[in-house]
Amino acid sequence: MRLRQRRVAALVVAVCAVGATLAGCGGKSGDATASSGSPSRPAGTSAPASKGPAPSGDGKSRAGDPLPGLPTTGEARKQLAALKTEKPHSMSGYSRAKFPHWAQQGNKCDTRETVLERDGQGVKRDGECRAVAGTWHSLYDDKTADKAGQVDIDHIVPLANAWRSGADKWDDERRKTFANDLTHPQLLTVSAASNRSKGDQSPDQWQPPAKSAWCFYGRGWTSVKSTYGLSVTEEERGMLTKMLDTCTS
């Protein structure tokens, strides 16, 4: 009996050796998929957001752009043409609390402090990641601040505007991503006065006082709405077109 068991065991080992590459004999269920070179992603989640379009065809870096992921003017025009046009949704049920911010980004830094460091010059932080020194130039009104308390982090597409153009259908996790997006041209350090003047208005209702900001503002607004599948109104589309027309390249 023992001799027969040894022969059966030897036969099993031989079969596994021959078929290992085909069937993963002896491995745990799912190992072949997990090691395929592309990590699996939980159902219902999306791929990591792109860091924005590549530099334009002339091969030059767009490092001078004030926001990450800004499309070229040509790309923005195509995105604008593809945006859905519809009337604003109801504000029923809206609350800023449904767009959780500012999210932690690591090392005690939240999204606000991360943008302050990104947009400022000579920024110094304390042990809690709070900006205690630095200067910030507000492109909206061409003003410079030397205290963090004098500036706000503006959502290029305001939270309430996003709600009226499609975010009312999102879950809180997607709204959190939108409110803390450091990859696309959605967050910018600006003067507190200009941010509060803007409020939740769309480009046809409010434009940066400094017309030199219209080009990047129009590109940024269009890109964010395109990225998140948000709609625009006819009036909004018209003003965005005018802003893009101010671009020189």
What is the tens place of the pLDDT at every residue in 51-96?
Answer: 333 333 322 225 679 999 999 999 999 999 999 999 999 999 999 9
Model pLDDT, residue 62: 58
| Residue, of 102 and 25, whose pLDDT is higher | 102
pLDDT digits (tens, 9 = 90+) for 91-104: 999 999 999 999 99
Percent of the chain with pLDDT over 70: 75
Q: Kindly tell me if the per-residue pLDDT of 158 is higher than 60.
A: yes
Contact by Cβ (8 Å): 158, 190 = no
The whole-number average pLDDT for the span 123-133 is 96
Q: Which of 45-49, 108-112, 153-157 has the lowest mean pLDDT?
A: 45-49
Q: Kindly tell me if the per-residue pLDDT of 10 is higher than 90.
A: no
Q: What mean pLDDT is reported for the chain? A: 81
